[in-house]
């Protein structure tokens, strides 16, 4: 779940630098897997304890997705703070005012 949400928000982070953000997210996922394996499975004798800690770790990071917010897009629970003028919306308003068809 955490991986899916991480990759799902990539296009919205910095659209102009999509390749760079994708590379950082991909490399971060690989590094996170190495760190989690070392942290949870090397230091504990019980496999069940390791699995429970790893599950709690993944759940924590998945729940942080509810806190993500972009000023121009809003969040899961609210709209945007800054209104962005879209060319299609501006053109539609001019067409209605002028009475002309696009």
Tell me how far apart the alpha carbons of residues 9 and 37 are, in angstroms, rounded to a whole number. 25
> Are residues 77 and 58 part of one domain?
no
Q: How would you write the pLDDT of the chain (102 residues) with one tens digit per residue?
A: 556 666 777 777 778 888 888 888 888 878 888 888 888 888 888 889 989 988 998 889 888 888 888 787 888 888 888 765 555 544 555 555 555 554
Number of Cβ within a 10 Å radius of residue 27: 10
Count how many domains the chain has: 2
Domain span including residue 91: 70-102
Tell me how far apart the alpha carbons of residues 55 and 89 are, in angstroms, rounded to a whole number. 45
Q: What local confidence, expressed as pLDDT, does residue 64 receive?
A: 85
- The answer to whether the predicted template modeling score (pTM) of the entire model surpasses 0.75 is no
> Are residues 85 and 41 part of one domain?
no
> Are residues 75 and 56 part of one domain?
no
Tell me how far apart the alpha carbons of residues 95 and 97 are, in angstroms, rounded to a whole number. 6
- Tokens representing 76 are 């899961």
> Are residues 63 and 36 part of one domain?
yes
What pLDDT digit, counting tens, does each position of 76-94 carry?
888 888 765 555 544 555 5
Number of Cβ within a 10 Å radius of residue 76: 9
> Are residues 52 and 6 part of one domain?
yes
Tell me how far apart the alpha carbons of residues 19 and 102 are, in angstroms, rounded to a whole number. 35
């Amino acid at each position: 779940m955490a991986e899916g949400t991480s990759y799902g928000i990539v296009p919205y982070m910095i659209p102009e630098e999509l390749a760079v953000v994708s590379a950082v997210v991909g490399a971060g996922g690989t590094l996170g897997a190495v760190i989690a394996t070392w942290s949870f499975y090397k230091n504990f004798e019980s496999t069940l304890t390791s699995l429970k800690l790893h599950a709690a770790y993944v759940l924590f990071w998945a729940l942080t997705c509810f806190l993500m917010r972009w000023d121009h897009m809003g969040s899961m629970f609210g709209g945007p703070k800054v209104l962005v003028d879209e060319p299609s919306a501006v053109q539609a308003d001019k067409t209605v005012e002028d009475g002309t068809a696009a």
